[in-house]
Structure 1
Amino acid sequence: MRPSEISALDVEDLLRKPTGVLIRIRRSKTDPDAQGQLVGIARGEHPITDPIRVLDAWLAVRPAGVGPLFTCVRHHDHPDADRLGPRAISKTVQERAIVAGFDGIPVSGHSLRVGHATTAAVNGASIDRIAAQTRHRDLGTLLNHYIRPAEAMATTSRDLGL
């Protein structure tokens, strides 16, 4: 999902399933007629990286009731009921990158999408499965801008003893 889609989600966009969650994207830049799409989020294998577990933890602290799924966290790290703004995810990713020691490395909310596609490719996921998850219609863009750079790094001369 794109950061702007994440910030537009409402609680009622979640459809719980035994193996994960379906999220209804009501509108996106590639869906201007608002026909909508469902995106599946599967349970993770490891508790610390399980997106459903993290979502449940968020739902336990976010303001209860109908409204934006992801809300602002302002005063004393407590979430309020205000919807995230359009740049909130990019700003948060940039702040967390600096805290992690990646100051000066360009990151954005889009980096999450790129990282997902790249990691999936490096771990052997098929291009069709990656495109279905990222909702890329143009496989050339997915291959040339997301996956090929990862493959280039995987075939470097680092194992040649240089």
Structure 2
Amino acid sequence: MLIGTNLKNFLKNPLKILKKIKKKKLIIFKKKIPIMYILNIKTFNKLLKYKIKYKNYKKKIKKTEKNKKFIMHKHWKPDKNFLKQASLWGIKLYKTATKTELASFISYWNAEKRSFYHIQWQQKLARNLQQIRNMINIKKKNINNISKLEYKIPYGFRGE
């Protein structure tokens, strides 16, 4: 169950309000926007257990995925030395993948449901980043421009 109060009331007498939340959660609002959540100790311990389980789950994924093929998932990340590896593969990258680049890569391959080794996923990411970044740097020519002819004769040539 939730109890809500505004910041002014909480600052006037916090102990009185904290005694009310024995098995409940308290939300403190400022201008109708929640700015603070207060939990009792049991709820806090439950959240802490879930956080520890989640961390262990992520560690299990990292350990198993390096040696086996796997389908792309939302928790995948390239290694810390990704840029160095990419340079060994002949791909020059000057910065690692941004969050949006990584998210678009993961969402594309997650939908494909193809399985590869971890190193292969990194190679695909490196090639993908190279292609995307090269396309951005290429200036597109305006095909509607008509080139102007120069009628000047360069020095050293004879004009007739």
TM-score interval (norm. to shorter): under 0.3
Determine which structure has more spread, i.e. the larger CA radius of gyration. 2
TM-score scaled by structure 1? 0.22
TM-score scaled by structure 2? 0.22
